[in-house]
Amino acid sequence: MYWLTIATSVVILSSFIIADDPCRYQTDKGVIDISSLARTDNKAQYPDKVPAAGSGYKYSYNPCKPFTELPSCQGVAACQVSTDGKYSFSIGKQESAKWNPGGIGGSPSVTYTDGPKTLVVTLVCAKDGTDELEPLGEATTNNYKMRLTNKCACWDGCGGGPQSTTKPQPQTTSKSGGVSFIGGTVFIVNLLIVNMVYSIGLIKY
C-alpha cells in the first residue's frame, strides 16, 4: 500500500517534469511561438494532407491547440485518416508536446505521442511567406513525421495568438553550464521521494 502510494506520486510528479508548452518554446537561441498558427474552433489548421509517396492515409495537424476529426480523433494534435474517411487514429496529443532545439545547423522540432504512436514535426524557417505542412507518413511502425514550413518556425519569427493553458517551458540548457531547470526539479522530486520513504519507514517501524 505504501509503495503503491510512492509509485503513484512518482508518476504524477514526473508528468509535470516532462511537459512542455505546446505553443511556445524558449532557449538561448530565442523563442519559437506557433500559437498564431492554431485554429481554436476544434478544427485542424492543416487538414487532410496526403504524403507525396502515397500510403492510403491522409494527415491533419493543428499546432498548439487540440482538434477533433471524425470518426475517432478527439482532442488531438494530429490525426491519421484513411483515404475513404472510415477510420481515423490519433498520432499525438498536445499535452505530450516535447521540444527539441536541433543541433548545430539543424532545425527545431516538436514531438507528440499518444500511446505507442509518436509524431515528430520538424519546423522549417521560411521568411518568404511560405505556409506549408508536408506529411512524410509513417517512417517506421507507429513513428510518423511531418515538416512544417512557416515564418513562425524561425527563432523569434512570431509571437502572440491564442494563449496556451500551460506555462512556457523554462530554458533547460545554458552556455554557462549552470544547473538546468529540469535538473533542479528532478533533484527536488528525488528529495521528496527520499523524505517520503524515510517517513513511512518511521511510521511502520
pTM: 0.70
Calculate the CA dihedral of residues 127, 128, 129, 133 and round it to 10 degrees.
Answer: -80
pLDDT digits (tens, 9 = 90+) for 41-98: 999 999 999 998 877 899 999 999 999 999 999 999 999 999 999 999 999 999 999 9
pLDDT digits (tens, 9 = 90+) for 112-129: 999 999 999 999 999 999
What is the secondary structure of 170-197 as a DSSP string? PP---TT-PPPHHHHHHHHHHHHHHHHH
Q: Which three cell numbers stand for residue 151?
A: 515564418
SS3 48: strand
